[in-house]
RNA sequence: GCUGGCGUAGCUCAGUUGGCCAGAGCAGCCGCCUUGUAAGCGGCAGGUCAUGGGUUCGAGUCCCAUCGCCAGCUCCA
């Protein structure tokens, strides 16, 4: 019986029953057939050599697409499992999916894999690839499958968990076989192992079965696979590029900050240059907050246990807090417990509560650069990105419910404006809605979520709804940015809170002279100043925009006799608020220039005899590999001042 | 917290199966050179080999613990 195949361009072709994706690809063109790894048949993915029995819309999946690489990587995972089972006969294998840029497979083995084991595994994989074994698809009844995988507990657990809807047909699962190796798998796979051309086994690490800390820890081996050697190489280069931007490395190279081990993990000290960077970011933040209706407040670092009981932190978050300091304990006195703050909210709430509030005062926006301390688990620490001590640019806004919509809208505009000022222009947002156990009036949740959504829409911000992902006390918006190399970072959060106004019994007097409960908005824009600077460092690879650069200008005297003039140049620039250094080192001009460039200073001014004589400078601008000679000092100062001016 | 890897000078690293001297480059300091756009030359100094214990005739090297770092897992209210 012939079947009609509709291609993506809408054209139709007739084939005999049992035609395969490979046949169709070959029919379209030999190059397509060569690049094909699988085929989509209506909504399903088929192996290239699986017969198509019915009329269908078909498209060929080639190896140089994300979908194609996904298949390649998944097949690579199978080959990895096959290799591990061959080399470590008792190994139990769990799951092995494709992930972004690669794949992994989880194993239970007696001893964790050593780096040498990984080398052997990769070598074994190459043998299997060289043998070019065909992947054969098969279907088994659940009972048969359990038999086949009788000595593989993880596979059995998966099979036993298969719902009738999930497998193939009602009580069937699909398996793939190549050579003697068989794995439970939905497929599809590349036609044969020889198609895996460019791959590498990269590392191993522990991982919990089903991602659950309480379940056994397995050994996960990661790998990467690409459609060609060239694509693999490009990936490795990309990794190197990312490593070069690592803020921990640049932080040391540019002398911004360090993490002295004497302090304890996750606690940074900021060096003078990092201090300038921070101060510049913080000054900008204070300035813009003041200009947009925020009141700047300051609160202490510690508070008594009672405050944290009211806020709920001690109940829900105690493990994340530095432990109590017990003060004034005596023979007959229990003493008082103090905790270092992991958050600023309760303090701002106390400011709100310090006297009775009128609706006329709302929205009330309190802003603080508040240092907080959280006892993060040691394994999650990551430079400035995840530290134990950090500074939140923290705001708490108290509004009436009627004001909520307008407030969220202007708040979102404010957030985006600030992020744009720092050079980010690609944003995505998540809107997290009411979870099962969300507290408070469900109607309020609905209205609040609508306000959040319409704020996102009016800001023209693309967003995804994360149903049920909100905190128990309110829905929220998270804003992500993309950095210069396409990585996504979560920065700002706007979090509604229906809980704390209750806990702390917040009120305001309405125009009708009734007592009402305000809505509270938590809002961090950078998240943490430290983390934000970490992200800026990686985004700009250390070459900060001129207004943020710790040193904006280096003046290089050609010879000792020009130092005096160089100093006077620095003085002129410095008097205009430009951050300038004179490099008086006994070195060649070339060396001093190189130093300034390596340190990513935006401007280098070289001064020699002719400049002393005519009051000029030679100027070199970062990123432009040319120098301009004989610019009048005033002119140079004017140009530099213009470029280093903060955005607002 | 868990699994694995790691910790030698300020930085990047070398130190063969435990053994005679713990080394190099860069940075630093001191000289010389007085320089015009990405590394001038020479010299000096710098390490209780993360810390503490152990094995051994002998430990940077082997074992244990602690601290710290890296990757991943889990976590991020």
Q: What does the block give as tokens for A443? A: 């109607």
Question: A201 CA to B66 C1', in Å?
Answer: 33
The residue from A394, A478, A483, A583 that is catalytic is A394
* Active-site residue identified among A49, A341, A374, A388: A374
- DSSP string covering A560-610, please? GGGHHHHHHHHHHHHTTT--EEE---SS-HHHHHHHHHHTT-SEEEEE-HH
A208 touches strand B (CB under 7 A): yes
Structure ipTM = 0.92
- Single out the residue of A19, A373, A351, A48 nearest to residue A192, CA to CA: A48
Same domain flag for A154 and A74: yes
| CA to C1' distance (Å), from A578 to B36 | 24
| Cα–Cα dist A147/A643, whole Å | 72
| End-to-end Cα separation, chain A, in angstroms | 72
Measure the CA angle with vertex A474, ends A472 and A476; round to 5°.
115
Q: How many CA atoms lie within 13 A of A51 on its CB side?
A: 10
Q: Is A383 a member of any domain? A: yes
Taking the C1' atom of every nucleotide in all shown strands and the CA of A312, the nearest one is B77
DSSP readout, A507-570?
A: -EE-TTS-EEPPEEEEEESSS-HHHHHHHHHHHTTT---TTT-S--EEEEESSGGGHHHHHHHH
Side-chain-facing half-sphere of A538: CA atoms under 13 Å: 24
Rg (C-alpha) for chain A, rounded Å, is 31
- CA of A620, C1' of B41: distance in angstroms: 28
Q: How many C-beta neighbours within 10 Å does residue A581 have?
A: 17
pLDDT score at A527: 93
Whole-angstrom CA distances from A476 to A348, A366, A451, A596 are: 19, 19, 11, 44
A378 CA → B53 C1’, Å: 25
Q: Is residue A254 part of a domain?
A: no
d(CA A91, CA A526): 46
Cite the beta strand spans of A374-487 per DSSP E: 389-399, 427-432, 463-466, 476-482
Alpha-carbon distance of A173 to A140, in angstroms, equals: 5
Q: What is the CATH number of the domain that holds A15?
A: 3.10.20.30
**A197 shares its domain with A77:** yes
Angstrom distance, A626 CA to B14 C1' = 39
Q: In what helix (H) or strand (E) does residue A268 lie, and over which residues does it extend?
A: none
What's the per-residue H, E or C state across A472-502?
CCECEEEEEEECCCCCEEEEEEEEEECCHHH
Active site residue A16: no
Establish whether the CB of A382 is closer than 7 Å to any nucleic acid atom in strand B: yes
Catalytic site includes residue A286: no
Q: Do residues A642 and A593 make contact, with C-beta atoms less than 8 angstroms apart?
A: no
Strand pairing of A603-607 and A476-482? Answer: unpaired
Residues A41 and A89 in one domain: no
A54-66 tens-digit pLDDT: 888 988 999 999 9
Distance A12 CA to B7 C1' (A): 65
Q: How far apart are CA A383 and CA A568, in angstroms?
A: 39
Domain presence at residue A317? no
Low-confidence ranges of chain A (pLDDT < 70): 163-170
Is residue A605 domain-shared with residue A533, that is, in the same domain? Answer: no
Q: Are residues A185 and A58 located together in one domain of the fold?
A: no
What total of structural domains would you count in chain A? 4
* Structural domain includes residue A24: yes
Instruction: Please give the structure tokens belonging to residue A222.
Output: 């990661």
Q: What tokens were used for A104?
A: 């992994």
Q: A41 lies in which domain range?
A: 2-62
pLDDT of residue A237: 87
Question: Quick check: A628 and A616 in contact, CB under 8 A?
Answer: no
A130-160 CB burial, b ≥16 within 10 A, e <16: eeebebbbeebebebbbebbeebebbbebbe
A115 CA to B56 C1' distance (Å): 30
Find tokens 């840029």 and name the residue: A101
Q: Is the CB of A587 under 7 A from strand B?
A: yes
Report how far residue A287's alpha carbon sits from residue A343's, in angstroms, rounded to the nearest whole number: 23
Smallest CA–C1' separation from A253, nucleotide: B11
A10 in a structural domain: yes
Nucleotide whose C1' lies closest to the alpha carbon of residue A207: B73
A133 and A231 in a single domain? The answer is: yes
- Please write the tens of the pLDDT for every residue from A572-628: 999 999 999 999 988 899 999 999 999 999 999 999 999 999 999 999 999 888 899
Which nucleotides along chain B are within 7 A of a protein C-beta?
1-5, 7, 11, 28, 31-40, 67-77
Q: Are A325 and A302 in contact (CB under 8 A)?
A: yes
A155 and A171 both lie in a single domain = yes
Decide if A318 is inside a domain.
Answer: no
Maximum Cα–Cα distance for chain A, whole Å?
Answer: 95
Helix axes A404-421, A272-291, angle to 10 degrees: 150
In 10 A of CB A275, how many CB atoms? 14
Residues A469, A377, single domain; the answer is yes
Burial A452-477 (b: 16+ CB within 10 A, else e): bbebbeebebebeeeeeebbebbbbb
Do the domain assignments include residue A101? yes
> Which residues in 496-535 of chain A line strand B, with CB less than 7 A from it?
none
Which A residues 316-335 have CB within 7 Å of strand B? 316-317, 320
Q: Answer yes or no: do A288 and A430 share one domain.
A: yes
Q: Which of residues 76-115 of A touch strand B (CB under 7 A)?
A: 112, 114-115
Domain of residue A629, CATH code: 3.40.50.800
* List of residues 6+ apart from A386 with CB closer than 8 A: A266, A376, A380, A531
Q: Are residues A387 and A502 in the same domain?
A: yes
From the CB of residue A428, how many other CB atoms can be counted at a distance below 10 Å?
15
Strand partners, A138: A175
Contact A188, A199 (CB under 8 A): no
Residue A79 CA from chain centroid, whole number: 30
Which of A62, A79, A97 is at the close of a domain? A62
| Type and span of the H or E element at A237 | helix A229-244
Do both A535 and A582 map to the same domain? no
| Token digits of residue A278 | 């921070």
Point out the domain boundary residue: A225, A241, A257: A241
Burial environment of residue A268 by CB neighbours within 10 A (0 to 12, 13 to 18, 19 or more): buried
Whole-angstrom distance, CA of residue A619 vs CA of residue A621? 7
The pair of structure tokens assigned to A391 is 């500074």
The closest nt to A628, taking CA to C1', is B37
**Which of A476, A364, A367, A340 minimizes the C-alpha distance to A412?**
A476
A145 touches strand B (CB under 7 A): no
Query: Are residues A469 and A446 part of one domain?
Result: yes
Phi and psi at residue A85, in whole multiples of 5°? -65, -35
Residue A574 lies in a domain: yes
Distances (CA, A) of A266 to A380, A531, A553: 10, 12, 32
Q: What are the CB-based long-range contacts (under 8 Å, 24+) for A559-564?
A: A559/A608, A562/A607, A562/A608, A562/A609, A562/A611, A562/A612
The sign one gets for the Cα dihedral A149, A151, A152, A157 is positive
Q: Of A539, A571, A602, which marks where a domain is finished?
A: A539
Tokens describing residue A532? 């934000």
**Residue of A82, A392, A495, A552 with catalytic role:** A392
How many residues make up chain A in this entry? 648
Q: Going by C-beta distance under 8 Å and a sequence separation of 6 or more, which residues neighbour residue A374?
A: A320, A321, A322, A342, A388
For residue A168, the model assigns a pLDDT of 56
Q: Check if A141 is active-site.
A: no
Contact, A220 CB vs strand B, < 7 Å: yes
């Amino acid at each position: 019986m012939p079947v009609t195949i509709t291609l993506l361009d809408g054209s139709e072709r007739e084939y005999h029953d049992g035609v395969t994706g490979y046949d169709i690809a070959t029919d379209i063109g030999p190059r397509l057939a060569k690049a094909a790894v699988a085929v989509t048949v209506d909504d399903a993915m088929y192996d290239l050599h699986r017969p198509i029995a019915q009329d269908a819309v078909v498209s060929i999946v080639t190896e140089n697409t994300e979908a194609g690489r996904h298949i390649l990587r998944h097949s690579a995972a199978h080959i990895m499992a096959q290799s591990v089972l061959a080399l470590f006969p008792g190994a139990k294998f769990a799951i092995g999916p494709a992930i972004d840029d690669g794949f992994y497979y989880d194993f239970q083995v007696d001893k964790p894999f050593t780096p040498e084991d990984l080398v052997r595994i990769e070598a074994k994989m190459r043998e299997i690839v060289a043998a070019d074994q065909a992947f054969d698809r098969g279907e088994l009844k659940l009972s048969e499958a359990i038999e086949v995988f009788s000595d593989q507990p993880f596979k059995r657990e998966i099979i036993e968990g298969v719902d009738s809807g999930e497998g193939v047909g009602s009580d069937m699962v699909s398996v793939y076989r190549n050579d003697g190796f068989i794995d439970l798998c939905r497929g599809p796979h590349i036609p044969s192992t020889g198609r895996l051309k460019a791959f590498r086994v990269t590392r191993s690490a522990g991982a919990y079965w089903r991602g659950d800390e309480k379940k056994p820890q397995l050994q996960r081996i990661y790998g990467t696979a690409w459609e060609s050697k060239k694509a693999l190489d490009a990936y490795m280069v990309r990794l190197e590029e990312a490593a070069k931007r690592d803020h921990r490395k640049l932080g040391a190279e540019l002398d911004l900050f360090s993490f002295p081990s004497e302090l304890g993990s996750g606690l940074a000290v900021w060096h003078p240059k990092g201090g300038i960077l921070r101060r510049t970011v913080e000054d900008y933040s204070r300035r813009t907050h003041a200009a947009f209706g925020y009141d700047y407040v300051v609160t202490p670092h510690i508070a008594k246990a009672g405050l944290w009981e009211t806020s709920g932190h001690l109940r829900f978050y105690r493990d994340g807090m530095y432990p109590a300091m017990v003060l004034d304990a005596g023979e007959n006195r229990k003493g008082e417990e103090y905790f270092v703050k992991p958050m600023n909210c309760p303090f701002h709430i106390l400011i709100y509560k310090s006297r009775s509030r009128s609706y006329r005062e709302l929205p009330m926006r309190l802003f603080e650069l508040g240092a907080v301390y959280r006892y993060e688990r040691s394994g999650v620490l990551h430079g400035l990105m995840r530290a134990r001590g950090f500074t939140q640019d923290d705001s708490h806004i108290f509004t009436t419910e009627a004001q909520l919509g307008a407030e969220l809208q202007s708040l979102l505009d404010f957030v985006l404006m600030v992020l744009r000022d720092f050079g980010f222009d690609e944003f995505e947002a998540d809107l997290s809605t009411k979870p099962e156990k969300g507290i408070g009036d469900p109607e309020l949740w609905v209205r609040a979520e609508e306000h959040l959504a319409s704020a996102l829409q009016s800001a023209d911000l693309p967003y995804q709804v994360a149903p049920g992902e909100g905190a128990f006390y309110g829905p929220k918006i998270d804003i992500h940015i993309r950095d210069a190399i396409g990585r996504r970072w979560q920065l700002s959060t706007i979090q509604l809170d229906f809980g704390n106004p209750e806990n702390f019994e917040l009120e305001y007097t309405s125009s009708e002279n009734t007592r009402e409960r305000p809505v509270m908005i938590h809002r961090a824009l950078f998240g943490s100043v430290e983390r934000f600077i970490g992200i800026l460092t990686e985004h700009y690879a250390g070459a900060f925009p001129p207004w943020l650069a710790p040193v904006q200008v280096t003046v290089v005297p050609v010879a000792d006799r020009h130092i005096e003039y160089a100093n006077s140049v620095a003085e002129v620039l410095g008097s205009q608020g430009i951050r300038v250094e004179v490099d008086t080192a006994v070195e060649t001009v070339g060396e001093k220039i190189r130093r300034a460039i390596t340190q990513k200073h935006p401007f280098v001014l070289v001064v020699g005899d002719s400049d002393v004589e005519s009051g000029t400078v030679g100027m070199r601008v970062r990123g432009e590999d040319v120098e301009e000679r004989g610019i009048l000092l005033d002119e140079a100062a004017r140009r530099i001042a213009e470029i280093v001016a903060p955005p607002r």
